[in-house]
Amino acid sequence: MSAPSEAWLAYLGEPIPWRPPSPLPRTTTARLVVRPYARGDGPALFAAIDRSRAGLLPWMLWASTDHRHVEDSIHYVERHRRAYGTSSCRDYPLGIFDRTSGELVGSTGLHDVRVGTRQAEVGWWVAPSHQGKGIATEAIDGLVETAFQPVDQGGWGLRRLVVYVVTDNHPSRRVAEKVGLRLEGTLRAERFIGYPPDAPRGYVDVLAYALLAGEPRARAAP
Ligand SMILES: CC(C)(COP(=O)(O)OP(=O)(O)OC[C@H]1O[C@@H](n2cnc3c(N)ncnc32)[C@H](O)[C@@H]1OP(=O)(O)O)[C@@H](O)C(=O)NCCC(=O)NCCS
């Protein structure tokens, strides 16, 4: 068999795969800092999740099994801290912190990073005592900016962001729409919900929102 031509090798190299920026970006907004978890964040993360569990559970099933003890959250932070930025890391959970007090008020992240097409899935939650103050909208608005910023300008260098929201999760849909993500379609009976036990139980539809780098954001009115 003959050796592949240089032209064929160049063709195989496109599109340019994503590589994690170093150092990992932080996003600063008027009230918040969105940053990778660092050693020492575990107890605050556990406390926020434990207080929020009932509100997270209908939509985030991991809250029923994960972060049950403070050690789980310490381990979670340490596991991600060690993985961040390594060549195989595809999951970047990010804490949302009050810029003045440093309090952990919620969490977001760039998950399931597809290096070949430079896309990631964004998720979010905010502790109940901080909900209804525009925290999620402000944090995600800022994160979207940083996510699309080129790596050499201090950003994550991504090209496409996607968010999945259960149809009945109206607060979360509002966040996606106020940030200006575009509705791309409905994934039918894509997810199972049913916790706590008295909550509605079954397979539910999920809305897929997405945004491409450089495209205008059609933000819903506040
Ligand atoms: C969805 C969530 C992150 C919104 O956080 P938030 O910081 O309160 O959001 P914002 O203040 O930016 O407001 C977004 C919308 O949430 C809704 N909302 C906020 N607080 C609410 C409350 N206490 N009761 C009802 N709706 C509320 C409002 O509809 C608001 O839209 P509006 O400005 O048009 O009124 C939060 O409710 C949460 O953590 N929910 C549980 C986890 C979850 O569902 N995560 C998303 C999975 S896709």
Examine the pLDDT at 11 and tell me if it is beyond 90. Answer: no
Asked whether residue 147 is assigned to any structural domain, the reply reads yes
Asked whether residue 222 is assigned to any structural domain, the reply reads no
Task: Give the total number of structural domains in the chain.
Answer: 1
**Residue nearest atom 20 of ligand 1, based on CA coordinates:** 132
Asked whether residue 17 is assigned to any structural domain, the reply reads no
Asked whether residue 11 is assigned to any structural domain, the reply reads no
d(CA 6, ligand 1 centre) in Å: 53
Asked whether residue 119 is assigned to any structural domain, the reply reads yes
d(CA 139, ligand 1 centre) in Å: 12
pLDDT tens digits, 159-182: 999 999 999 999 999 999 999 999
25 to 16, 143, 197: CA distances (angstroms): 20, 10, 39
Using the Cα atoms of residue 124, residue 202, residue 73 and residue 133 in order, give the sign of their dihedral.
Answer: positive
Asked whether residue 10 is assigned to any structural domain, the reply reads no
Domain region containing 105: 22-212
Least confident of 5-14, 93-102, 168-177: 5-14
Asked whether residue 217 is assigned to any structural domain, the reply reads no
Q: Could you give the CA distance from residue 213 to residue 217 in angstroms, rounded to a whole number?
A: 10
Are 109 and 35 contacting, i.e. CB atoms less than 8 angstroms apart? no
pTM for this one?
A: 0.94
Q: What is the CATH number of the domain that holds 105?
A: 3.40.630.30
Asked whether residue 16 is assigned to any structural domain, the reply reads no
